[in-house]
Amino acid sequence: MAEKIRVAINGYGNLGRAVELAVERSEDMEVVAIFTRRDPSTLKTVTGRAVAGSEMAAWVGKVDVCVNCGGSATDLIEQTPEAATLFNVVDTFDTHARIPEHFAIVDSVARDHDHLVMISTGWDPGLFSLNRLIGESVLPAGETYTFWGPGLSQGHSDALRRIDGVVDAVQYTKPVEEVLERIQAGERLELSTREKHTRECWVVLEEGADAEAIREQIVSMPNYFADYDTTVNFISAEELARDHAGMPHGGIVVRQGETSEGVTQVVSFRLALDSNPEFTGSVAAASARAVARMAQDGVRGAITIFDVPPAKLSPIDPVELRKHLL
């Protein structure tokens, strides 16, 4: 491995730009290529490293890890196995119901090509997943609750934008406040998906598009909206740009458990994010560092955040970590 970890970025939307910013802030990593389906000469990036996606194979041996920044709805299912034939890879695949399927496919490809791939990093899946695991390991007798938002979901917004007849769209996830308050007060509840969150969509349509047909397609979309009370609002492009340009998000994981009869313990982990993509990009950059190091150690196949030693995520020497963070 080179002195600095050589990072490629595959895709340059909101997440790709965020990964570029995060890598540039890291002294031990550098962006060497940004693969794009657009004309590289028209792409304005911080590092000026845009390369045609068709040239990815020419970068074999020049990249320590490639961060795939496509959408989960259609891109990453194909992009990550393809990239895994060439590089060690990180992706942020966030369709929870399809993670086992995605893992199995990527694991086979990565092993066949002697690479390491970390799928589904970010914050959920990602940091929230890790905190669910820790909470349930420490408090095996109890209940885990995850609430998202209020905030904008990139994956769900991307799924909306891929519907025929949709020009642009955003989707907000909102916790059901009454339920969240009861959980935080220590009440133990059995909740369905629909009882915990609502989804709110703001959609710009192509001229002449069938609004009611698109509304029905949205509210019945499996893995994204079908299991939630979903509100669909149709607005103009001007209204979307004016009122929905920010990308805040957040949420909380709560584990309630008993260590003996009548003795209740509560573990929680909360995020409040000004920018969902920038935070996700920061997690992806730290994950890229871990993958590059673990690949150098000989680890191969597919992994998730569950399989990463925490010290591999940090740029700080393990001796200093033990001295200052333990």
pLDDT single digits (tens) 27-61: 999 999 999 999 999 999 999 999 999 999 999 99
DSSP string, 62-91: T-SEEEE---TTTHHHHHHHHHHTTS-EEE
CATH assignment of 5-124+277-319?
Answer: 3.40.50.720
What 3-state class would DSSP assign to 159?
Answer: helix
CB 7 within 8 A of CB 23: yes
Write down the pLDDT at residue 73.
82
**What is 151-247's CATH topology?**
Dihydrodipicolinate Reductase; domain 2 (3.30.360)
C-alpha torsion 63→81→160→248, nearest 10:
-40
- Per-residue pLDDT reduced to its tens digit, 203-251: 999 999 999 999 999 999 998 999 999 999 999 999 999 999 888 999 9
Provide the CA 3 distance to its chain's centre, in angstroms.
Answer: 28
pTM: 0.85
DSSP 275: B
CATH 3.30.360.10 domain span(s) along the chain: 151-247
Q: Which comes out higher in pLDDT, residue 182 or 102?
A: 102
Name the nearest CA neighbour of 75 among 41, 36, 45, 112: 36
CATH 3.40.50.720 domain span(s) along the chain: 5-124+277-319
ω into 125 cis (within 30 of 0): yes
Place of tokens 């890229």: 288
pLDDT at 153 over 90: no
For a pLDDT cut of 70, what percent of the chain falls above it? 99
Write down the pLDDT at residue 179.
92
Write down the pLDDT at residue 275.
92
Calculate the average pLDDT of the chain.
Answer: 95
* β-strand partners of 200: 172, 231
